[in-house]
Amino acid sequence: MSGLMPRGSFTRSARGLFAKLQNLRAANFPDAPSLAVRDPWPGDPSRGARLIKGEITLLGASRALPPGQFSNLSGASPLLRAHLLGFTWLRDLRALGTDAARARARALVSEFMDTMDLEPLANRADVTGARIAAWLGHYDFFAASADDDFRQRLMSRLVTDARNLAAALPAEEHDGRALTALKGLIAASVAMPEHAAYSTRALRFLPQEIERQVLGDGCHIERSPAAHLAALQDLTEIRALLQSVKIEPPEILPAAIDRMALALRALRHGDGGLALFNGSREDLPGLIDLVLSQAGRSGRAAGQLGDSGFQRLAAGKSVLIVDAGAPAPAGADRFGHAGTLGFEFSAGKERLIVNCGAAPASGAEWRDALRATDAHSTLIIAGVSSSEIRERGLGRRPGHVTGQRQAAGGAHWLEASHDGWGKLFGAIHHRRLYLSESGEDLRGEDLIEAEQPQPFLIRFHLHPNVTASLQQDSEAVLLRLPSGQGWRLRADGTKITIEESVYFGTTEARRAEQIVLAGHQDGPQQVKWAITKLG
Of 213, 241, 261, which marks where a domain is finished?
A: 213
Q: Same domain for 209 and 318? A: no
Residue 95 lies in a domain: yes
Residue 358 lies in a domain: yes
**92 pLDDT higher than 80:** yes
User: pLDDT tens digits, residue range 316-363?
Assistant: 999 999 999 999 999 999 999 999 999 999 999 999 999 999 999 988
Q: What is the Cβ-side half-sphere exposure of residue 141, based on CA atoms within 13 angstroms?
A: 27
At residue 27, the pLDDT reads 53
- Lowest-pLDDT choice from 25-34, 39-48, 478-487: 25-34
Q: Same domain for 14 and 144? A: yes
Residue 285 lies in a domain: no
Domains held by the chain: number: 2
Q: Same domain for 341 and 197? A: no
**70 pLDDT higher than 90:** no
Q: Which amino acid is at 294?
A: Q
At residue 13, the pLDDT reads 52
SS3 content of the chain, % helix, strand, coil (to 5): 35, 25, 40
Who wins on pLDDT, 301 or 18?
A: 301
Which whole number is the average pLDDT over 61-69? Answer: 86
At residue 21, the pLDDT reads 44
Q: Is 0.85 topped by the overall pTM?
A: yes
Question: In whole angstroms, how far apart are CA 119 and each of 84, 99, 122, 155?
Answer: 12, 30, 6, 21
At residue 73, the pLDDT reads 79
**38 pLDDT higher than 80:** yes
Residue 75 lies in a domain: yes
Residue 71 lies in a domain: yes
Residues of the chain with pLDDT > 90, as a percent, come to 82
**191: helix, coil or strand?**
helix
Summary mean pLDDT of the chain: 92
42: domain range? 7-213
Say if CB 37 and CB 191 are below 8 A apart: yes
Which whole number is the average pLDDT over 68-82? Answer: 85
Residue 219 lies in a domain: no
At residue 7, the pLDDT reads 47
- CATH code (residue 460): 2.70.98.70
At residue 20, the pLDDT reads 52
Who wins on pLDDT, 72 or 2?
A: 72
Q: Same domain for 314 and 449? A: yes
Q: Same domain for 520 and 372? A: yes
* CA–CA–CA angle 415, 325, 375 (5° rounding): 95
Q: Which segments within 463-509 are labelled E, that is strand? A: 467-471, 476-480, 486-492, 496-503
Who wins on pLDDT, 10 or 394?
A: 394
Of 156, 181, 213, which marks where a domain is finished?
A: 213
- Lowest-pLDDT choice from 225-229, 291-295, 359-363: 359-363
Residue 255 lies in a domain: no
Measured N-to-C along each axis, helices 45-52 and 99-114 cross at an angle, to the nearest 10 degrees, of: 60
Of 166, 182, 213, which marks where a domain is finished?
A: 213
Say if CB 339 and CB 376 are below 8 A apart: yes
At residue 26, the pLDDT reads 42
Distance in Å from the first CA to the final CA of the chain? 76
**66 pLDDT higher than 90:** no
Residue 494 lies in a domain: yes
User: pLDDT tens digits, residue range 262-289?
Assistant: 999 999 999 999 999 999 999 789 999 9
Nearest-angstrom CA–CA distance, 260 and 364: 31
At residue 393, the pLDDT reads 94
Q: Same domain for 470 and 321? A: yes
**In which band, very low, low, confident or very high, does the pLDDT at 11 lie, cut at 50, 70 and 90?**
low
Q: Same domain for 201 and 337? A: no
**In which band, very low, low, confident or very high, does the pLDDT at 402 lie, cut at 50, 70 and 90?**
very high
**In which band, very low, low, confident or very high, does the pLDDT at 22 lie, cut at 50, 70 and 90?**
low
- Lowest-pLDDT choice from 1-10, 227-236, 306-315: 1-10
**In which band, very low, low, confident or very high, does the pLDDT at 304 lie, cut at 50, 70 and 90?**
confident
At residue 529, the pLDDT reads 98
Q: How many CB atoms lie within 10 A of CB 520?
A: 13
Q: Same domain for 314 and 209? A: no
